[in-house]
Amino acid sequence: MITILADDRIPFVSELFGNCGVLILKPGYSIQRSDLKKANALLTRSVTQVNAALLQGTAVEFVGSATAGYDHIDHKWLLKKSIFWTYAPGANAIAVAEYVLHCIAFLRKKNFLRKKAPHAAVVGVGHIGRVVSHRLKNIGFSILHNDPLRAVSEKGFISTPLEKLTKMDLICLHTPLINTGKFPTYHLINNILLKKIKPGCILLNAGRGAVIDNTALSTCDHIIICLDVWENEPDIDLDLLQKVTIGTPHIAGYSKAAKLRASLMIYKTFLEYFRLPDIRSKQLQRLSEKKILDISRYYTVEDVLLKIYDPGKETKRMRKLLIKHLLRFETLRRNYQLREELLSVQLLTNPFKLKLENLKKWGFSFN
């Protein structure tokens, strides 16, 4: 019988892994070596540092992290000890891309990005940046990319230097935080570059907070700032929070579908590793049911998007709770109510008000 120790906040962990062996649930921040003495598998999130200090001398042979990144995993040590590990790259890509679309909808209601063919730069074109680029093209943006690391490894990929992106209408950041090497991203957007960005440009960061020098950013009055990630999380700059047009608590990738996608990715790898049949709970079937949204009262695509998720309301809530010290940043993030992805919403439409073709460009589908 396989013994599985899992972070109790991994979405759908009981429904997926409950029939796979002995499942023990525990808060991720309190998992320690003594909990793993007889555990064959460890399922984690980013709050758990997976390294020699945690796993040395345990029975763990499989590590699965329901996260899109693996900064918290000492993968070199795991490889050295022949411990199999996996994570969920790209699981949140659609959610982050749609977060960008919701932000654009909010900004358009404020009369930003109204020109016919706005220009956008996507900085960091990995799992997430690729999807963001595709979705922006679908709604009429002209796109340039910046990803020098990808340009080195992929023939034909064009990485436009940052200095040539300062005239864009929208700059979206989706890079990991890299402190060393030939292409570091720490303070990639610094005071010098910020001053060169054209007035009125939208600077949106849904990558890593320290990719932008937040101290320098707090002095910028000529650009529109949208931040989902912040330098020095969870102790963010509250003065900067007051300044931004959109500010959210690192939740761009937090959709119901993204969380299920991440859990399913490590679940399927788990089954392959332990050679088990797929015996997930039937309770998961209800998650595929679409949410019904009557849009007969809405006249624009922006209205529909903001009905599903409004980053403006999120910003007001975050300001109120953090600036008045009613909640902490990590509490806001932990208790965030997962939003629907656009394909998870079934629209009841009035075709005379909204063109279906236009809705499809933004990512909605119709049966």
Provide the annotated active-site residues.
Answer: 208, 233, 250
Contacting residues for 199 by C-beta, under 8 A, at least 6 apart? 222, 223
Cα separations in angstroms, 85 against 45, 80, 314: 13, 12, 35
Q: Which of 90, 44, 89, 38 is CA-nearest to residue 64?
A: 44
Contacting residues for 197 by C-beta, under 8 A, at least 6 apart? 166, 171, 203, 222, 223
Helices (H) and strands (E) in the chain, counts: 14, 13
d(CA 270, CA 87): 11
291's torsion region: left (phi>0), alpha (psi -120 to 50) or beta? beta
d(CA 223, CA 200): 5
Peptide bond into 118 cis (omega under 30): no
199's torsion region: left (phi>0), alpha (psi -120 to 50) or beta? beta
Q: Are 39 and 4 in contact (CB under 8 A)?
A: yes
DSSP structure class, residue 3:
E
Cα separations in angstroms, 84 against 67, 72, 261, 285: 16, 15, 20, 29
DSSP structure class, residue 179:
-
